């Protein structure tokens, strides 16, 4: 990403090539529609979402992939499904030359929402 640090998710996304922007908008919509009460912000230099003041998920654009960060608990729950992608501790890389795995992303977000709501109790 070039230039100044973005203040909003829109500014963040606008810094990428058109195709990457499309994927980032898609990722954002998947998260927002499945975690409508989550607070959206720029955190750690990337779009992040919090629910009940606790981290939910993050995403980031790169030259060759979209990074998705479901925190270690979300990542470990879906480790088998994430195994076909390049992964790290708490992260998965979705190649930008492939469609985003929408169903998987939705299930991860819903899992994280459920976990954050249970922590509140």
Q: Which residues contact 90 (CB under 8 A, 6 or more apart)?
A: 69, 70, 71, 72, 74, 75
Q: Domain limits of the chain?
A: 9-112
User: Which residues, in sequence order, are bridge partners of residue 66?
Assistant: 61, 94
Give the β-pairing of 65-69 and 91-95: antiparallel
Is CATH 3.40.50.880 correct for 9-112?
Answer: no
Strands of 1-121 (E only): list them: 39-43, 46-51, 54-61, 65-69, 86-88, 91-95
What does pTM read for this prediction?
0.91
Q: 30-89: per-residue pLDDT in tens?
A: 999 999 999 999 999 999 999 999 999 999 999 999 999 998 788 888 989 999 999 988
Query: What are the tens digits of pLDDT across the range 11-25?
Result: 999 999 999 999 999
| Residue 32 near residue 40, CB atoms below 8 Å | yes
């Amino acid at each position: 990403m070039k230039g100044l640090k973005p203040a909003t998710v829109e500014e963040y996304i606008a810094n990428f090539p058109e195709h990457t922007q499309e994927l980032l908008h898609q990722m954002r919509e998947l998260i927002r529609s499945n975690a409508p009460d989550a607070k959206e912000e720029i955190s750690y230099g990337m779009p992040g979402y919090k629910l009940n003041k606790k981290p939910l998920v993050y995403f980031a654009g790169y030259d060759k992939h979209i990074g998705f960060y479901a925190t270690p608990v979300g990542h470990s729950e879906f480790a088998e499904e994430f195994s076909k992608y390049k992964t790290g501790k708490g992260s998965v890389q979705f190649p930008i030359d492939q469609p985003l795995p929408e169903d998987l992303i939705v299930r991860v977000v819903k899992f994280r929402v459920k976990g954050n709501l249970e922590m509140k109790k």
